Amino acid sequence: MFPLQLQSIIPKPLEGLYGVESIWGKRLELAAGSSYLIKAASGKGKSTLLAYLMGLRSDYFGELLLDGKPIQQFSPSEIAVLRANEIAYLPQDLRLFVHLTALENIQLTGQVSETCSKVEMLSMAAQLGIAEKMNSPCGKLSFGQQQRVALVRALCRPFKLLLLDEPFSHLDDDNIGIAKKLIEEAVEKNSATLLLTSLGSNFGFQLTQILTV
Partner 1 sequence: MKHWKLLASLLFRHTGRWQMGFNLLGSLLGFLLVLISLQFFLDFKSLLSENTDLVKSQYLVVNKKVGMLNTLSLGSSVFQKNEIEELKKQQCIESVGEFVLNHFNATANMNIAIAGAQSMFMELFFEAVDNQYLDINPEGWNWHIGDKEIPLILPNDFMNMYNFNYAPSHGFPQLSQATLKWVTFDISIRGNTGKQAHFIGKIVGFSNRISTILVPKNFLDFANHEFAGGMKTKPHRLILKARNEKMAELTNYIDRNGYEANTELMRNGKFSGFVYNALNILAFAGLLVILVSLTGFIQFSQLLVSKSKYELETLSMLGFSTSAPIRLYTIFYLLAYCIIFIVSLLGVYLIKDYLSTWLFDKGITLQAGVSCVVALSGLGLMLVLLVINFIALRNDVQRIMA
Tell how strand 87-90 and strand 161-165 pair up.
parallel
**What type of residue is 58?**
S
The answer to whether 61 touches 9, Cβ cutoff 8 Å, is yes
Smaller CB separation from partner 1, 50 or 130: 50
Q: Does 104 bind partner 1 (CB under 8 A)?
A: yes
- Contact region for partner 1 (CB under 8 A) — 96-104, 139-147, 165-173, 200-208? 96-104
Q: Among residues 77, 119, 173, 206, which is the contact residue for partner 1, using CB under 8 A?
A: 77
Smaller CB separation from partner 1, 108 or 126: 108
- Contact region for partner 1 (CB under 8 A) — 109-117, 127-135, 166-174, 205-213? 109-117
Q: Does 200 bind partner 1 (CB under 8 A)?
A: no
Measured from the Cβ of residue 133, the count of other Cβ atoms closer than 10 Å reads 21
| CB within 8 Å of 36: residues ≥ 6 apart | 30, 193, 194, 195, 196, 207, 208, 209, 210, 211
The answer to whether 54 touches 87, Cβ cutoff 8 Å, is yes
Judged by CB under 8 A, how many residues of this single chain contact partner 1?
Answer: 24
Q: Does 112 bind partner 1 (CB under 8 A)?
A: yes
CB of 6 to partner 1, least distance (A): 21
Q: Does 47 bind partner 1 (CB under 8 A)?
A: no
Helices then strands, counting H and E runs in the chain, come out as 6, 9
| CB within 8 Å of 198: residues ≥ 6 apart | 37, 38, 39, 166, 168
Q: Does 118 bind partner 1 (CB under 8 A)?
A: no
Q: Does 16 bind partner 1 (CB under 8 A)?
A: no
- Contact region for partner 1 (CB under 8 A) — 23-31, 74-82, 176-184, 188-196? 74-82
Which residues, listed in sequence order, are joined to residue 30 by a DSSP beta bridge? 4
Q: Does 110 bind partner 1 (CB under 8 A)?
A: yes
Q: Among residues 60, 89, 168, 205, which is the contact residue for partner 1, using CB under 8 A?
A: 89
Alpha carbons within 13 A on the beta-carbon side of 100: 12
Question: CA nearest 166: which of 61, 91, 95, 108?
Answer: 91
Q: Does 198 bind partner 1 (CB under 8 A)?
A: no
**Residue numbers of the site for partner 1 (CB under 8 A)?**
54, 56, 76-77, 80-85, 89, 91, 95, 97, 99-100, 104, 107-112, 157
